[in-house]
Amino acid sequence: MGTVNVVNVAAKHKLAWYQKLYFYSIGNGLWITLKHFVKAAFLKGAVTLEFPEKRRKYSSRFRGMHSMKRDEQGRERCTSCFCCMWICPADAIHIEAGLVTPEIQHLHPEDKYAKKFEIDLLRCIFCGLCEEACPKGAIYLDGPAEMAADNREDLILTKERMMEKSGGPILGERK
C-alpha cells in the first residue's frame, strides 16, 4: 500500500503571500458570485428553475416516490413485518406495529398492521430495496417524482400519504 508524504503535500500547496490575506479570498468569492449573477441575469445561464412554472425533467430511470398498496378487498397489504425497515441502507423507514383488533379486522389481512409507517425522503436514496424485500407486495416506488417542499415535515412520507398516492382505497397490482 502506498504512503502519502504529508510534508511534500503541504509544501506543494503552500499559499502565496497574497493568498494568506483575507481580501484575496473574499475578492475571489465575490468575483465568482458576480460572474454567476451576470450569467443568470443577462445571458440566460441560470442553473435554477422557476418552479413550479418550470420543472426539471427526471431521468427515465428514476423510480418515483413510494406508494403503499391495498389488496383486492381494500385491505392494507402491509403486515408490519419490518423487512423493508431492516433492509433499508439509509435507515429511512420507521414502522410502529399494531395488533389488529376486531373493529379493524376488515381492513387488515393478518393479526399485525403498521400503526405508523414513515419514510424520510431526506434520507432515502431511492435504491428500491424496500420494494424488493417486501413479501406482501405492499410497497412500490411507482408514485410521482415530485419532491419539492418548503419544510422538512412535507418530506416525511406517512402511510396515509403513500396510500393516497397509490390512488384510492382499492388498488390492483402495479402497472
Residue ranges that bind ligand SF4, judged by CB under 6 A: 78-84, 88-90, 92-93, 95, 114, 119, 124-130, 133-134, 136, 138-139
Q: Which of 120, 127, 122, 160 is nearest to 141 (CA)?
A: 127
Question: Could you tell me the smallest distance in angstroms from the CB atom of residue 72 to ligand SF4?
Answer: 17
Question: Could you tell me the smallest distance in angstroms from the CB atom of residue 105 to ligand SF4?
Answer: 17
Q: Which is nearer to ligand SF4, 129 or 147 (CB)?
A: 129
Sign for the pseudo-dihedral over CA of 125, 162, 86, 128: negative
Q: Which of 59, 56, 58 is nearest to 46 (CA)?
A: 56
DSSP bridge partners of 117: 95
Q: Which is nearer to ligand SF4, 24 or 118 (CB)?
A: 118
Residue 83 is labelled as binding a ligand:
no
Q: Is 154 helix (H, G, I), strand (E, B) or coil?
A: helix
Q: Which is nearer to ligand SF4, 127 or 171 (CB)?
A: 127
For residue 64, what is its C-alpha cell?
418515483
For residue 104, what is its C-alpha cell?
379493524
> Residues 16, 18, 22, CA angle at the centre, nearest 5°?
120
Q: Which of 109, 112, 162 is nearest to 140 (CA)?
A: 162
Question: Could you tell me the smallest distance in angstroms from the CB atom of residue 91 to ligand SF4?
Answer: 8
Q: Which is nearer to ligand SF4, 83 or 100 (CB)?
A: 83
Annotated binding site for [4Fe-4S] cluster: 78, 81, 84, 88, 124, 127, 130, 134
The binding site comprises 78, 81, 84, 88, 124, 127, 130, 134
